[in-house]
A and B are shown apart, each in its own frame.
Chain A
Amino acid sequence: DAGVTQSPTHLIKTRGQQVTLRCSPKSGHDTVSWYQQALGQGPQFIFQYYEEEERQRGNFPDRFSGHQFPNYSSELNVNALLLGDSALYLCASSSPGHSYEQYFGPGTRLTVT
């Protein structure tokens, strides 16, 4: 049983560019959450998707947007990249009725130069 998978594992972008990160949830899971983890910090909640809609959102600007597909996979898009967007981006999934218990993927390391 594959766990949460994310792609790519590493990414280098230039300021002002746009990036798309991808996540496939654990089998049987329907809810996907995204987190940003800066170096030396705990993960910060970006948003959560359920039934292809954004259900909750953390304190992140509109440059951060997402999408969930009918197969429950999800994308995180970041526009107009800033140096401060450099971080590990984590995806977590949870099963129906158990949105509090989240399983994390390995993350995508984004470096903005």
Chain B
Amino acid sequence: AQSVSQHNHHVILSEAASLELGCNYSYGGTVNLFWYVQYPGQHLQLLLKYFSGDPLVKGIKGFEAEFIKSKFSFNLRKPSVQWSDTAEYFCAVRNRLAFGKGNQVVVIP
């Protein structure tokens, strides 16, 4: 069975601070990894994805994630957050998308 763990479910940051959200997965097959974002009142949107190749993946809005196979991790990063990054972030694995519980990120202006 596939499962996803996300830590630090509530994160509060000031603008310009760096953000890193951890994601660990357990899945024995071919790994397809995703980060989704849900802005207040909006749909889930795909932030970035990893299927194969370069383990450092760049997504929209300055986000990036690094796949580390040996650690079963796919951590999300952004060097300098903005108030508009306030949202809930979900890590997911594979095509039936096993989601983590999410990280509620609040950026204080």
0/1 string, A71-113, CB within 8 A of B gives 1: 0000000000000000000101010000111111111000000
Q: For window 1-27 of chain A, which residues contact chain B by CB distance below 8 Å?
A: 3-4
With contact pairs A42-B102, A100-B32 given, residues A58 and B44 touching in the complex (Cβ less than 8 Å): no
* Distance between Cα atoms of A92 and B46 in the complex (Å): 11
Name the distance in Å between B54's Cβ and chain A's nearest Cβ. 17
Interface size class of B (residues with CB under 8 A): 20 to 34
Interface size class of A (residues with CB under 8 A): 20 to 34
Name the distance in Å between B37's Cβ and chain A's nearest Cβ. 11
Residues on A lying within 8 angstroms of B by beta carbon are 3-4, 33, 35, 40-45, 48, 56, 58, 90, 92, 94, 99-107
Name the distance in Å between A30's Cβ and chain B's nearest Cβ. 14
Assess whether B8 is interfacial by the CB under 8 Å rule. no
